[in-house]
Every structure is written in C-alpha cells, then in structure tokens.
Amino acid sequence: MSNFHVVVLGFVIGIIGTGIGGAMTFFLRKPSKRFLSTILGFAGGLMLSVVTFDLLPHAFETGGLNVGMLGLIAGVLIVVFFEDILPDKEKINNYLKEGIIMGFAIAIHNFPEGLAVGSGFMSSSSFGLSIALVIALHDIPEGIAMATPLSIGGVTPFKNMMYAILAGIPTGLGAIAGVYMGEVSPFFIALNLGIAGGAMLYVTCGEMIPESRDLYRGRISVFGMIAGIISGIIITRVL
C-alpha cells in the first residue's frame, strides 16, 4: 500500500469510527449507563489486547527493547501532559462543556492512534491493517462518550456527528507523521510504535476501563472487557 493510501486510510478510520459513535445519538439520545459501561469495557479490552500482544512486540522487534521502552514512556508522559492541561470533566456541571472537553481529549488521544497506523504499515501491511481495524472499532465508543453529554445538552444528532468527525481528523494527521518518520529509519518506526503504545495503554488503563467500572458496577463491564481482549487476539492473529 502506498504512503498516500495509508494516510487516506488514517483519516477514514478516524472519521468513520468517531463519526459512527456520534451518529448513534440519532437512535440513542441518552444511552443507559449499563450500555455505555459495556461498550467502554469492550473498547478498553480490545485496545489493551492489541497494544500488549501486537503493537509493543512489533516495536521491540523492530528497534529493540530500549527504543520501544523509550517510546512507551514518552507516550505515557505526553498524554499525562495534555491531560493536566485540559480541565477535569468531573468538575464541570454543564453537559455541553463536558462534551466539548471530552471532544478535545479524544482528538488528542487520536493522534497517537494514527501514529500507530502509519508506523504499523511501515512495518508490514498486515500489521497496519490489524491496527487500523482495531482503532476504527475502538473509536466508536469514544464517539458515543463524546456525543452523549452534548446530546443531553441539546445538540442535534447531525451536529453531534459532525463534531465527532472533527475529533477523528487527528488520526489522519498521526498517520502522516507515522508514515514519513518511518521512512527515515526503523528506529523511528519502533519509537513511534512505542509512543503510540504508551499513550494508548495510559488512556485504556487510566480512563476507559476505570470509567467503564464507575458507570455500572455489575459484571457486564468485565464481560465487555474480556470480549474485547478476545476480539483483539482474533483480529491480530487472523490479519
């Protein structure tokens, strides 16, 4: 696959993934906490599985353990930095403001996901495809999480979908960076995969899975997470 097609794919998966999530408000104006808990658990398990069993091992194989770990730590620190800049959504009482903050957070998180797609294709086409598919699936719950408070705050479903699409654009920008940095040397492929892996691990373990458990205390979120992990393993083994 050419670099141009990889970049286009990066934009497409980001826009479609979060866009579908935003479009869900056409049918679900106010999703139940049980439903949100399940899909967030599934998305968290899916991402955790792929990062642990596929993305990070590729980083270590391509550039060695030191480079991969350097990228992983850098990815965590980058997300922590931006997380400290954004206001805490728990302190925000207005649904519209909460949705806007969530949108900015998702947009920031989407850049390293695109980085993983671009760098993944620089490693191999099959690896890039598996990462792209997982990220597209993972972005749907993120779009729902962003659109739900906006919907409750009075934003129309069409505008919700448009805002979700905008939040998905950084995935394509990340793919551009991953492709062209990966052309320089295998070192940058490994470093970018490590950065993407670290960022996604932090978001998954620090936000998605805990939020899934906080929304609904039943076992459904755990079952969702296990289903996500199994799905991630199947995707990475088949592709």
Q: How far apart are CA 174 and CA 108, in angstroms?
A: 10
Q: Is the pLDDT confidence value at 89 over 60?
A: no
Q: How far apart are CA 196 and CA 155, in angstroms?
A: 32
pLDDT in tens, 172-208: 999 999 998 888 788 989 999 999 999 989 988 988 8
Q: Is the pLDDT confidence value at 9 over 80?
A: yes
Q: Is the dihedral of CA 91, 99, 40, 132 positive or negative?
A: negative
Q: How far apart are CA 171 and CA 178, in angstroms?
A: 10
The letter for the amino acid at 226 is: I
Domain that holds residue 130: 3-238
pLDDT in tens, 24-79: 888 877 778 898 889 888 988 988 998 999 889 999 999 999 999 999 999 999 98
Return the percentage of the chain with pLDDT > 70, whole number: 95
Q: What is the pTM of this model?
A: 0.81
Q: For residue 88, what is the DSSP state?
A: P
Residue 226 has which token pair?
A: 């296990």
Q: How far apart are CA 56 and CA 20, in angstroms?
A: 28
Q: How far apart are CA 25 and CA 30, in angstroms?
A: 8
Residue range 221-225: mean pLDDT, rounded = 93
For residue 195, which of 53, 69, 84, 110 has the smallest C-alpha distance? 69
Q: What is the pLDDT of residue 87?
A: 66
* Beta-sheet strands, E only, within the chain: none
Domain count, the chain: 1
Q: What is the pLDDT of residue 114?
A: 92
Are 133 and 113 in contact by the 8 Å Cβ rule? The answer is: no
Q: What is the pLDDT of residue 92?
A: 52
Q: How far apart are CA 228 and CA 125, in angstroms?
A: 23
Residue 21 has which token pair?
A: 């999530």
The angle subtended at Cα 81 by Cα 78 and Cα 87, nearest 5°, is 135
